[in-house]
A = this chain, B = another copy of it.
Amino acid sequence: MIGELRDYLAAISDLGRARALLAWDERTQMPPGGAAARAEQVATLARVRHERLIADELGRLLDGAATETSGLPYDSDEASLVRVARREWEKARLVPSELRAEITRQSSLAEHAWVAARESSDFSAFLPYLERNVELRRRYGACFEGFDGFTHPYDPLLDDFEPGMTTQEASTILDELRDGVRPLVAAVSERGEPVDDSCLHGTFPLEAQERFSREVVAGLPLPEDAYRVDPTIHPFASAISSSDIRITTRFDESYIGTALWALVHEAGHGMYENGVPPELERSPLGSPASLGFHESQSRLWENWVARSRPYLAALAPRLRELFPEHFADVDADQLYRAANRIKPSLIRVEADQVTYNLHIVLRFELELEIFEGRLELSALPEAWNARMSEYLGVAVPDDAGGVLQDVHWAAGAFGYFPTYSLGNLVAAQIWDAALEDMPDLDERIARGDLVTLHGWLRERLYRHGNKFMPKELIERVVGGPIDVSPYLRQLNERAAEIYGI
């Protein structure tokens, strides 16, 4: 029975991977003429996959396999497979197909409306679509009444991205994060002397950027035959299998940071996917554990490795060779300072790693107020702008640069934003654990040895795939629950180095 279950789930996995390839192709290779048909193809793969997932047959296979595996250890592959697949099956069956189809249809309409509304910076044009999206997500959430301890209307939304985390837990964590980051940002702002990051800005020929980024990714511990890198508009990483990683990146002619950190960020996602062991492939266990954990790895490689002093010191000579007019007079220390400048700004995706968290907290708080019925959607821009002023001291010039800047709400993805900051927290905890096990990690990174860290991450994290709930996994990886303090300590240490505060 476990064999049958495995085969059944393998087909579901294959359909998901095929869909991922179609999506990757759409964003990197497809001729524009293919767009309409591609939307249908992707929708069909999603529907066929979903039909298999909610089938009674899977329930029968799960029951049979549960009996077979009842004596096995909790963390065995077999027991984990049955446990994880059952939760997914149960969740999927609670939502009527019509509602699911309506959510897909409406979010597609809303995304189109959002593009137009952002273009004209007109929130009111987007408002009816947002209202419909929120209403549908409420109905979606209501399907899960009584499931797995859900009590808050936001619980099921969060659970889709961070399984097992409650709204209460997320609030406690993000409140603490907010209250820790705000004083740091205030202290930096009060200090008055901005860090000079002009070396990162200017004009960087695309060809040299491309060569640079090829070298950067080649220096990461990703097996050469298991990935490729392509340019796209909004970078992402996608796993077609654990040894077929599609990294995408983009180049900004006026800023070299994108070619480096956006690339390493996506490669970080890719290394996690690549580290899932072969025996978990083609199953619900064959992927990272949650969006938060996924993000912990992109952030770890982007911010803890590629913005670290030893990494940048090793990179500086090459930057000087490739872009002499920008870096000829820039030493490793200046580069490190530029890479870690803290400066409140308007747009989330352009924010530094510290203020970034306040962008997330703002969105999370607004989402909560919406789903708790404490905020009318028509009042959203006002609430957004007030909080931008309060948390970041930034005046929002218009809706395009404010409440309309992200696609998530248009796509109906409420509950997604918090995972970005959860990723930062988990990364910091993992980094502390790594330093404890490898006290010479800095020296290793300085001499280009990223393999040791990679091997440690594989052993500590990657190898578990999706066997455990995030709550269980963080215990296994760092020996305790999610904790805000390591991240705050690290941010403060780095700020102390750079700003002397």
Contact = CB atoms under 8 A, between A and B. Distances in A.
A25 B242 CA distance: 16
B15 A243 contact: no
A22 B18 contact: yes
The majority secondary structure among interface residues of chain A is helix
A491 interface: no
B18 A244 contact: no
A17 B37 CA distance: 9
A170 interface: no
A54 interface: no
Interface in A53-81: none
Interface residues of A, number: 37
A182 interface: no
A480 interface: no
A183 interface: no
Interface string A7-49: 0001100110110011001000111111011101100110110
Interface stretch (A121-129, A224-232, A388-396): A224-232
B282 A33 contact: no
A38 B226 CA distance: 13
Interface in A269-307: 281-282
A233 B378 CA distance: 58
A243 B25 contact: no
A149 interface: no
Contacts of A36: 241, 243
Interface in A389-435: none
A180 to B, nearest CB: 41
30 contacts: A10-B40, A11-B44, A11-B47, A11-B48, A14-B40, A14-B45, A15-B45, A17-B41, A18-B22, A18-B44, A21-B22, A21-B41, A31-B225, A31-B228, A31-B243, A31-B244, A33-B225, A33-B226, A33-B227, A33-B243, A33-B244, A34-B241, A34-B243, A36-B243, A37-B240, A37-B242, A37-B243, A37-B244, A38-B244, A48-B48
Given A15-B44, A21-B21, A31-B244, 17 more contacts: A11-B48, A14-B41, A14-B45, A15-B45, A17-B41, A18-B41, A21-B22, A29-B29, A31-B225, A31-B226, A31-B243, A31-B245, A32-B225, A33-B226, A33-B241, A34-B240, A37-B240
The 7 A-B pairs with the shortest beta carbon distances in the complex, nearest first, are A34-B244, A37-B241, A33-B243, A14-B44, A33-B226, A32-B225, A33-B225
